[in-house]
Structure 1
């Protein structure tokens, strides 16, 4: 991990086409501006983690429904 110190108005470059600039610094927040090509996906980490958890929950629910369906059909065939 690289840790950098930047002041308001300063930037850093990732590769040739992504620029991150410090727009504002508050007591407990930092506002960043990100310039990147449109095909680069930019998400806050907590939103990406929530999306993954949601996808896992949906998959679990689908599995539960399949098991219920199998158990229900087994009862009817006995």
Structure 2
């Protein structure tokens, strides 16, 4: 892990097209701004973890598995060559 010290208004550049700027420092909280191309996905780590957990739960759901199997059988029937 790279650790840098920055002051308010200072920034770091990642891969020449992502800029992270220290916007303010208030007590123990640091506010940052991120300038990045629109195709770069940016998530807070706790939000990304929540998304991952929700996806795992949806996949593991018996109702979802049953629905996926049902769709797969329909697709298989439609893709079988006619005799």
Alignment coverage as a number of residue pairs: 66
Offset of 1:64 from its aligned partner? 7.8
SS in 2 for 1:20: strand
1:15-54 CA-partner distances (Å, limit 9, x unpaired): 1111000000011210001000000000101000000000
Partner of 1:57: 57
Give the alignment's TM-score, normalised by structure 2.
Answer: 0.73
Offset of 1:62 from its aligned partner? 3.3
- Unaligned 5+ residue runs, structure 1? 67-78
- Unaligned 5+ residue runs, structure 2? 67-83
Q: In angstroms, what is the RMSD of aligned CA positions? A: 1.6
Offset of 1:65 from its aligned partner? 6.1
Give the alignment's TM-score, normalised by structure 1.
Answer: 0.78
